[in-house]
Amino acid sequence: MKTKFRIIFALLVALLVGVTVGPAIGCTPLIPAAVSFLGAFIPSIPAGALGAGVQVEIWEKDIEGQLFQDAPFLNCVYNGDQYVLMGKVVYIPQSGNPSGVVKNRANLPASVTKRTDSTVTYALDEFTTDPRLIPNADTVELSYDKRDSVTGEDKKALSDVVAEEALYVWADGLPAAAVVKTTGKKAVLASAELATGNRASATRSDLQTMRTLLVKQRKWSEGNMYALIPSSMLAQMFPADDVVTATYAQNLTEQERRQGVVYKAYGWNIMERGTVLRYDVDGVLRAQGALGAATDNEGAMFWEKNSLERALGEIKMFQDEGNPLYFGDIYSFLVRFGGRRRRADNKGVAVLVQGPEVIENAGQGGDGQA
């Protein structure tokens, strides 16, 4: 009874403040805002008692923020958002080849050519979460916000899948010359999911090899070179007990750390992720979520910033509050996302994959470091 009285009293005060003070300061009376403000000073009012619903726009913006927070490497490629049409398709006009240039032209009239332009078009993939039910009893009886907890887990899972799919799209179809194997003389345990046995360790010398590869492709651009390396391979390249490791870590600025860079070495801005790519024993890229095998190998991705592209399209939150069939609230999310390698010749992108154990050197303790 006291709670109801306090709610009625708060509404009356809000109405009085909105009607009398609002016009005086040139603001339209906003009773709900006043109620929300007063609610902070009346803790005994139950959550939701004043009719506050889910702010869909805020949740949708939060999904975008979590995606790039969980996968900061997505900010280190070309952003194609400006070319997204209707939130579903990427449409990019492409200029044709320039006209020919002739030194000391002798034959006249010169041949007239017409530039042929083209377009790059690809559909964004649609990622959706399974609808999640939050029973009415949970929203009333639990001491924490069940909705925020449950949907937070779903948003995290959604961002993980989107990021992993982007990595697969960027690596799928790379020519064999762009897939390099590790060369460490020290044998390490296989680290891919379900993998067994030993592999050749990843070393800092491999970073030099990847640099040389992209320099030869003429796709090296200082400050714009990135490497995304799985945690296990990164630990092999930069062991904690190596004095050189601390030196590479100290080369970072605070801004670079915030961007997700953990080391700078051989010109690479190095970022870390639990897993990046997986290849089978024949060097075939495994799709994200595919069942692994004992002979699988982990892979790391290397790229020049403008050689890869990502595009974020439509983001939606679906809600059905107070569903009479399920006696609770139902929520789900949708994200449209896509990407591509920007060059037809695939230059500017390469992968480092675990190589087979070097038998003759296994067990001798060589670290293979540069």
Higher pLDDT, 368 or 304: 304
Q: Which of 32-46, 65-79, 142-156, 341-355 has the lowest mean pLDDT?
A: 32-46
How does residue 36 score in pLDDT terms, banded at 50, 70 and 90? Answer: very low
- For 244, the token pair is 């050189």
- Residue 182: phi and psi, rounded to 5, are -65, 155
Per the CB < 8 A criterion, the answer to whether 190 and 196 are in contact is yes
Across residues 8-32, what is the average pLDDT? Answer: 50
Across residues 223-227, what is the average pLDDT? Answer: 97
Of the chain, the percentage scoring pLDDT greater than 70 comes to 79
Q: Would the pLDDT of 363 be above 50? A: no
Higher pLDDT, 254 or 47: 254
Q: Is 336 helix (H, G, I), strand (E, B) or coil?
A: strand
- For 71, the token pair is 């996968």
**pLDDT at res. 146:** 66
Tens-place pLDDT, residues 114-126: 888 778 899 999 9
**pLDDT at res. 362:** 42
Q: Which of 55-59, 73-77, 114-118 has the lowest mean pLDDT?
A: 55-59
Q: Would the pLDDT of 4 be above 90? A: no
Q: 88: which residues sit within 8 A by CB, 6+ positions away?
A: 123, 124, 313, 314, 336
Q: What is the pTM of this model?
A: 0.77
Mean of the per-residue pLDDT values for the chain?
83
Q: Would the pLDDT of 40 be above 90? A: no
**pLDDT at res. 10:** 52
Per the CB < 8 A criterion, the answer to whether 311 and 83 are in contact is yes
Higher pLDDT, 104 or 146: 104
Tens-place pLDDT, residues 270-294: 999 999 999 999 999 999 889 999 9
Element containing residue 228 per DSSP (H, E): strand 225-230
Q: Where are the beta strands (DSSP E) in the chain?
A: 78-79, 84-85, 89-94, 118-123, 125-128, 132-135, 179-181, 187-189, 198-200, 225-230, 261-265, 268-273, 277-279, 297-304, 308-323, 328-341, 349-353
**pLDDT at res. 207:** 97
Q: 263: which residues sit within 8 A by CB, 6+ positions away?
A: 234, 238, 245, 248, 249, 251, 252, 270
What is the fold of 54-97+116-370? Answer: phage-related protein like fold (3.90.1690)
Per the CB < 8 A criterion, the answer to whether 213 and 194 are in contact is no
**pLDDT at res. 203:** 96
- Rounded CA-CA distance 80/60 in Å is 19
Closest CA to 226 of 346, 348, 344, 311: 348
Cis amide linkage into residue 324, ω under 30° from 0? no
Tens-place pLDDT, residues 335-362: 999 999 999 899 999 999 999 998 764 4
Q: Would the pLDDT of 204 be above 70? A: yes
Q: Which of 109-113, 142-146, 231-235 has the lowest mean pLDDT?
A: 142-146
- For 310, the token pair is 């990502």
Element containing residue 130 per DSSP (H, E): none
Count CB neighbours of 259 within 10 A: 16
Q: Would the pLDDT of 364 be above 60? A: no
